[in-house]
Amino acid sequence: MESIQAIKQRFGIIGNTPALNRAIEKAIQVAPTDISVLVTGESGVGKESIPKIIHQLSHRKHNKYIAVNCGAIPEGTIDSELFGHEKGAFTGATQTREGYFEVADGGTIFLDEVGELPLTTQVRLLRVLENGEFLKVGSSKVQKTNVRIVAATNVNMFEAIEKEKFREDLYYRLSTVDIHLPPLRDRHEDIHLLFRKFASDFALKYKMPTIKLTDAAVQLLEKHRWSGNIRQLRNIAEQLSVLEQNRTISAETLKSYLPTVGANLPAVIKHTKSDTDFSSEREILYKVLFDMKADLNDLKKLTLELMKTGNTKDVEKNNESLIQKIYGNIDEDDADYEEDPIENSEVLSITEHTATLEKNDSVLDKYHFAEEIEEEETLSLQDKELELIKKSLERHSGKRKLAAAELGISERTLYRKIKQYDL
């Protein structure tokens, strides 16, 4: 069995990360079998060399190796590409055509971006994987083929299965062995090594002196996110090699070649994005809780002292620092308000809200209360008034003039009242 190092040399694979070595080792181990292999990893991590290794180290190496990019073939023609078609199967099918599965009989087919396969094609693929049978498009004649499949994907297959974009049975059939290639940002020690390799390749290609990075530039290179992985690193090495007059590349120069949007974030962030988000949120909550608890303890202490001594001035004097800690310095308060409007507006809005509620409540209460009293009083006043008028009229034998004089009102007013009370 060829060693991992020999394979790397033969296939031009640079790097020494344990995860990369493990992936190559797995490829070497499964190569002599006919087991289906699914290569996973982000775009640009080097997935394409795995099926090549597998094919070359297998008994199929003298037969065909066909790499198919499933994502690049239009949905309408992919069945015909893979399985062929009969003459007259569809408009334009002037001749019978052999598909890749027929051509590669005895060899290996690499299905790149397998997650992009239409569901109808997935059914055909499952059949050919299970018993080597397939039908040309427009034909009812079952054909046989002996093809080894290595598939690759950069999409989350479980998600695709959940969304019913990929058949679960096919997924398990394809991924009997899973070979995962790590993203470049997780291959820290390989980044500069790969860059030097590309720099020397491009120096040769463009017949120019090899570019070299300063220490600061190496640091920048190593902490970059490389969302496009090795493909992206290679492109940047090429651009620098061609465009830079000064063959010593500073961090500044390198920076101008690196995309800025979201790409300069430290590598760890993307790796455990949700975790990081969650933990930072949790940290903030903890901090708020701890601060609140501390404030509460301080307040308890103050209240207790106030209860014990009953002397506000003394307590204020003895606990100056504590009071300042809880309520802040009066002079500083204004500054805080300017500096941290969010925090203050929150507190403000709460106070304001409470205040408004209290005000409203009390106003409402007073209003109800006042209304009841007023009504009662009005009633009793009316009653009293009515009684007084009645008695006065009785006393003066119905003589309004005398009654009005006694009541201290004009005769006219009395007349109105008599009407009002229907006397």
Ligand X SMILES: Nc1ncnc2c1ncn2[C@@H]1O[C@H](COP(=O)(O)OP(=O)(O)O)[C@@H](O)[C@H]1O
Q: Which residues bind to ligand X, rule: CB under 6 A?
A: 12-15, 41, 43-49, 194, 230-231, 234
Closer to ligand X by CB, 41 or 84: give it.
41
Task: For ligand X, give the closer residue by CB, 13 or 393.
Answer: 13
Least distance from C-beta 42 to ligand X, angstroms? 7
Q: Helix 75-83 and helix 119-131: axis angle, to 10°?
A: 20
**CA angle (80, 83, 84) in 5-degree steps:** 55
Residues near 355 by beta carbon (within 8 Å), at least 6 away in sequence: none
Distances (CA, A) of 199 to 194, 211, 273: 8, 6, 32
What separation, in Å, do the N-terminal and C-terminal C-alpha atoms of the chain show? Answer: 127
Min CB(14)–ligand X separation in Å: 4
Choice between 39 and 104, CB closer to ligand X:
39
Residue closer to ligand X by CB (options 160, 194) is 194
Tell me the residue number closest to ligand X, measured at CB. Answer: 46
Residue 86 Cβ, how far from ligand X at the closest point, in Å? 34
Residue 69 beta carbon to ligand X: minimum distance, rounded to whole angstroms = 10
Nearer to ligand X, 197 or 390 (CB): 197
CB of 335 to ligand X, least distance (A): 55
Token pair 């005000």 in the structure block, residue: 359
Q: Do the strands 37-40 and 148-153 form a parallel or antiparallel pair, or are they unpaired?
A: parallel
Residue by residue, DSSP assigns 116-184 as GS-HHHHHHHHHHHHHSEEE-BT---EEE---EEEEEESS-HHHHHHTTSS-HHHHHHHTSEEEE---G
Burial 296-335 (b: 16+ CB within 10 A, else e): eebeeebeebeeeeeeeeebeeebeeebeeeeeeeeeeee
Locate all alpha helices (DSSP H) within 31-118, ordered by sequence.
49-56, 75-83, 100-103
213 vs 237, which CB is nearer to ligand X? 237
> Scanning the structure block, which residue is given the tokens 């003394």?
314
Q: How far is the CB of 56 from ligand X (least distance, A)?
A: 15
DSSP letter string, 260-326: -TTTSS-HHHHHTHHHHHHHHHHHHHHHHHHHHHHHHHHHHHHHHHHHHH--HHHHHHHTHHHHHHH
Q: Which is nearer to ligand X, 79 or 116 (CB)?
A: 116
Q: What is the SS3 assignment for 47?
A: coil
State in angstroms the smallest separation of the CB of 231 from ligand X: 4
Min dist CB 63 to ligand X, Å, is 22
DSSP conformation class of 210: P
CB of 108 to ligand X, least distance (A): 16
Whether residue 89 contacts residue 80, with contact meaning beta carbons closer than 8 Å, is answered with: yes
Say which DSSP state 114 is in. Answer: G
Q: By 3-state DSSP, what share of the chain in percent is helix, strand and coil, each rounded to 5?
A: 60, 10, 30
Q: In terms of CB distance, is 49 or 145 closer to ligand X? A: 49
For ligand X, which is the closer residue by CB, 10 or 127? Answer: 10
Residue 213 pairs in a beta bridge with 249
**CB-wise, 60 or 234, nearer to ligand X?**
234
Contact 134, 124 (CB under 8 A): yes
CB of 166 to ligand X, least distance (A): 19
Point out which residues pair with 57 in neighbouring strands: none
CB nearer to ligand X: give 68 or 389: 68
Q: How far apart are CB 15 and ligand X at their closest, in Å?
A: 5
